Amino acid sequence: MSLTLDQVRKVATLARLELPEDDLVRMQSQLSAILDYVAQLDELNTDGVEPLAHPLPIQNVFRPDVPTPSLLPNEALQNAPKREKGSDYFSVPAVFDSDEPVSH
């Protein structure tokens, strides 16, 4: 099954990966080869087979609802790519354009 360059571009957008054009072109042939390989599963009849997402037969795992220590704000922030000096906040790019009305 071969992918078109547009499909590769669409998947890259979905995956939030900005890639140079020549990477996308290389990806097109590599992904097509991999999809061709995995297409061999089509020869197998799996009607009525229950999917297996997980090897253990465990269902829900509960624990008592007891508060336990978590990271201190400073620990949680120590790897932030950007943070406001002296604050307990991560600094991120603007989500909205400044002239766009924001509803609350």
Please report whether residue 66 would count as binding other proteins according to CB under 8 A.
no
Please report whether residue 21 would count as binding other proteins according to CB under 8 A.
no
26-65: contacts with other proteins (CB under 8 A): 27, 30-31, 33-35, 37-42, 44, 46, 49-56, 58, 61, 63
The set of residues, in sequence order, having a beta carbon less than 8 Å from that of 11 and lying 6+ positions away, is 3
Start-to-end Cα distance in the chain? 47
Choosing from 94, 98, 101, 103, the residue that interacts with other proteins (CB under 8 A) is 94
Helix (H) or strand (E) holding 64: none
Q: 71 with 40: CB under 8 angstroms?
A: no
In angstroms, the CA 22 to CA 7 distance is 15
Please report whether residue 16 would count as binding other proteins according to CB under 8 A.
yes
In angstroms, the CA 84 to CA 80 distance is 10
CB of 71 to other proteins, least distance (A): 6
Q: Which residues bind other proteins (CB under 8 A)?
A: 3, 8, 11-19, 23, 27, 30-31, 33-35, 37-42, 44, 46, 49-56, 58, 61, 63, 71, 75-76, 78-82, 90, 92-95
